[in-house]
Amino acid sequence: PLVLGIETSCDETGVGVVRGRQLLANVIASSMDEHARFGGVVPEVAARAHLEALTPTLTAALAEADVALDDLDAIAVTSGPGLSGALMVGIGAAKALALATGKPLYAVNHLVGHVGADVLRSDGTEIELPTIALLVSGGHTSLLLVRDLLNDVELLGETIDDAAGEAFDKVARLLGLGYPGGPRIDEAAASGDPDAIRFPRGLTQPKDRERHRYDFSFSGLKTAVARFVEQRRDAGLEVPVADVAAGFRESVADVLTAKAVDACLEHRIPRLLLGGGVAANARIRDLAAERTTAAGIELRVPPLPLCTDNGAMIAAIGAALVAAGRAPSAGGFGADSTLPVTTVQA
């Protein structure tokens, strides 16, 4: 099926077009720069930016895919989780399009979109199920057991405080590296020594093995970095930014990849899928590759433009729902900022 996908859950206005598992267009407009001076996404600013970017992004995506609205079999839109005001812009646009064209409309879970993005890879290989999936983004850090993308996604663990991306953003601000933090820390860490400063690894103590085996915590790490920086400044010493960035990044990469590999081994699933914007991190990718290879696990990481927020992944889930014969979403759906990953379609 030919499906258009609209994504506006955070600061990226994304419109994608897919034909089944084939990617036809993936156009993204980001309001990231407008948030930079605040050091984080400002919901009101994001919603307004979506409103301005949506029509041009939609037009560009249809042109890139070389299709007309009339050709579509369905429209899919992110209905959650995310920022309510931001989500509502995409939902409003999708409902208007569906009404005007008479096309069926599917309300899709953003997180399932991140996991499902892998099906759009251009190398022609298909994801094998079941798989363990590590979803690491600005708002989420979840370890999932995916038996069937549309019917059976089990949440094994998640962050109990900050998301991994959020930790990158906060630590970057602390180090004066700017926003968004992930790429800035990656850059700074490249010339640092990851072993110079040993930062804590959240929820990896023996006592955490029972209740928090697959959960994550990054707020203690963030506090440890803040304390280190503060002590250096108080002592009139220079802050070794590259080493701090490298040590911080190492802690995050270590915990994420160790727990993901543990989950693969415990569930005897020799496959690990990475998704979400933080999967762009160079050290997380390298360490994941190293550890999965050592454990005989196949690692799949979608290309970057499919890792960060985009409309194509939403279109892909929409196409899968259509192919599975699912009924369109009832017209009364709204934005659900806390939609759980286990609910694929609202």
What residues make contact with ligand ATP under the rule CB under 6 A?
9-10, 82, 110, 137-140, 165, 168-169, 180-183, 186, 276-278, 280-281, 308-309
Binding to Mg ion (CB under 5 A) within 294-323 occurs at 309
The nearest distance, CB 229 to ligand ATP, in angstroms, is 19
Instruction: List, in order, residues 6 or more apart from 261 with CB less than 8 Å away.
Output: 272, 291, 292, 295, 297
x/- mask, Mg ion, residues 9-28, rule CB under 5 A, reads -xxx----------------
What backbone torsions phi and psi does residue 289 show, to the nearest 5 degrees? Answer: -65, -45
The count of chain residues that interact with Fe ion, using the rule CB under 5 A, is 2
**What residue 53 binds from ligand ATP, Mg ion, Fe ion, none (CB within 5 to 8 A, per partner kind)?**
none
**What residue 215 binds from Mg ion, ligand ATP, Fe ion, none (CB within 5 to 8 A, per partner kind)?**
none
Instruction: Report which secondary-structure segment, H or E, holds 60.
Output: helix 43-65
- Which residues are known binding-site members for substrate? 135-139, 169, 182, 186, 281
Q: Taking the CA of residue 162 as centre, how many other CA atoms within 13 Å lie in the half-sphere pointing to its CB? A: 16
- Which residues are known binding-site members? 110, 114, 135-139, 169, 182, 186, 281, 309
- Does position 137 bind Fe ion by CB under 5 A? yes
For 179-191, give the DSSP string. Answer: SSHHHHHHHHHTT
The count of chain residues that interact with Mg ion, using the rule CB under 5 A, is 4
Helix, coil or strand: residue 3: strand
The nearest distance, CB 165 to ligand ATP, in angstroms, is 3
- Does position 162 bind Fe ion by CB under 5 A? no
Which residue, 139 or 247, has its beta carbon nearer to Fe ion?
139
- Does position 111 bind Mg ion by CB under 5 A? no
Asked if residue 169 lies in contact with residue 138, where contact means CB atoms within 8 angstroms, the answer is yes
Residue 232 CB coordination number (10 Å): 14
The nearest distance, CB 188 to Mg ion, in angstroms, is 20
Distance CA 291, CA 213 (A): 18
Distance CA 229, CA 245 (A): 11
Distance CA 206, CA 213 (A): 9
Which residues make up the interface to Mg ion (CB under 5 A)? 10-12, 309
Interacting residues toward Fe ion by CB under 5 A: 137, 309
